[in-house]
Structure 1
Amino acid sequence: MTCIVGLVDGDRVWMGGDSAGVNGLDITVRADTKVFRNGDCLIGFTSSFRMGQLLHYRLEVPSRDGDVDLFRYMVVDFVDAVRGCLKDGGYAHRSNDVETGGTFMVGLEGRLFTVQSDYQVGEAVRGYHAIGCGSDYALGSLASTAGQPPEERVLKALECAELFNGGVRAPFTIQSGLRRPQLALTEAA
């Protein structure tokens, strides 16, 4: 189920997702969106609607000291908050002393991260990524649309995934988030 597409364009992250809920061969077009904001984060999920609901409504995104590297913040502070949220919400799984969650993307401060089910954090150097069963089609589309407007690229990637994958369905939700504003420094007179 699902196709979530993320794209970095300058200081803005664009993210889009489909509306399919899939169970075996059954598909339901859902009213609840797979792409949303939580604080400064733009989040798009696959894996489970329950996980997405917890990330949307229960996750308390920790604040970040401006001196802390953003990638380190994602790996340590953000993932610790996600793990606690998923455990408290009854979603995290534990088997053979290994804890797993689900897969989702986070756009934050003009950067795009993917959190995998083992809680590893990744950041693609190409400036775009896709997750879910339609990801390969979306990635091919994104690679072929360089130079086009970002919202169009995200939409085309989702449409391509829907065309070729039975687990992806419109309508599509597309949102963008800006980089954290930089504090202006002024000289004392």
Structure 2
Amino acid sequence: MTCIVGLVENGDIYIGGDSAGVSGSLMTVRKDPKVCRVGDFIIGFTSSFRMGQLLAHSFEPPKHYDETDLYDYMVTSFVDAVRDCLKRGGFARVDSSAEEGGTFLVGYKGRLFEIESDYQVGEALSGYAACGCGREVALGALFATNGQKPKDRIKTALEAAASLNAYVRAPFNVLSV
């Protein structure tokens, strides 16, 4: 359970996350952050700390060539590399009908993408996104703080989620590129 929040402003990307690790009714405030840099990318994850560890320490994003449309790159080369990483790390789950990973936000080249557990790639027109169990509260806070400084908006969204959701906890980590 988590809250990851991201936004883009003037080409800069900001992603923040909480520190809760939840298993059933047990919650641990974790030292390892849910937001990391991987080369030129910022990634903020929910779903599983194992998935996040693989993305932070094992994932190697494929080269993106400027002549390739960024969205096309994300839905093909990038997602294919994520799938390979999660499979190699023993995280991707495969049943008789589908393969499943986890949910995370990715910031790259002034854009913010949400990767869902079925590996679909989304990009909100609003310029902000959130995932995890604190998502709805965080999105409302991002909407309500439009016009404020980006890091303040991220912090407010995470604080709102923590105050209204039992599975979101400080401290909050925020990265930007």
Moved segments of 4+, more than 6 Å:
none
Query: For each residue in 1:78-104, what CA deviation from the matched residue of structure 2 results, as whole angstroms up to 9, or x when unmatched?
Result: 000000000000000001131000000
Matched residues, percent identical?
58
Query: Displacement of 1:139 after TM fit?
Result: 0.5
Q: Which amino acid aligns with 1:159?
A: E
Query: Displacement of 1:16 after TM fit?
Result: 0.3
Give the equivalent residue in structure 1 for 2:147. Answer: 147
| Structure 1: stretches of 5+ with no match in the other structure | 178-189
- How far apart, in 2, do the equivalents of 1:126 and 1:64 lie? 24
Give the equivalent residue in structure 1 for 2:173. Answer: 173
Partner of 2:81, secondary structure, is: helix
Aligned residues: 177
- How far apart, in 2, do the equivalents of 1:120 and 1:100 lie? 11
Taking the TM superposition and a 5 Å limit, the aligned residue runs for 1:63-82 are 63-82=63-82
Q: Which amino acid aligns with 1:95?
A: D
Give the equivalent residue in structure 2 for 1:185. Answer: none
- How far apart, in 2, do the equivalents of 1:150 and 1:66 lie? 27
- How far apart, in 1, do the equivalents of 2:39 and 2:162 lie? 30
Taking the TM superposition and a 5 Å limit, the aligned residue runs for 1:87-166 are 87-166=87-166
Question: 2:94 aligned with 1:85, yes or no?
Answer: no
Give the equivalent residue in structure 2 for 1:187. Answer: none
Query: For each residue in 1:37-81, what CA deviation from the matched residue of structure 2 results, as whole angstroms up to 9, or x when unmatched?
Result: 001110000000000000000001111111000000000000000
- How far apart, in 2, do the equivalents of 1:142 and 1:98 lie? 33
Comparing 148-157 with 94-103, greater Cα deviation is found at 94-103
- How far apart, in 2, do the equivalents of 1:16 and 1:84 lie? 26
Q: Which amino acid aligns with 1:36?
A: C
TM-score by length of 1: 0.93
Partner of 2:118, secondary structure, is: coil
Give the equivalent residue in structure 2 for 1:45. Answer: 45
Give the equivalent residue in structure 2 for 1:7. Answer: 7
- How far apart, in 1, do the equivalents of 2:153 and 2:98 lie? 37
- How far apart, in 1, do the equivalents of 2:82 and 2:139 lie? 26
| Structure 2: stretches of 5+ with no match in the other structure | none
Partner of 1:67, secondary structure, is: coil
Q: Which has the larger radius of gyration?
A: 1
- How far apart, in 1, do the equivalents of 2:149 and 2:59 lie? 32
Query: Displacement of 1:34 after TM fit?
Result: 0.2
TM-score by length of 2: 0.99
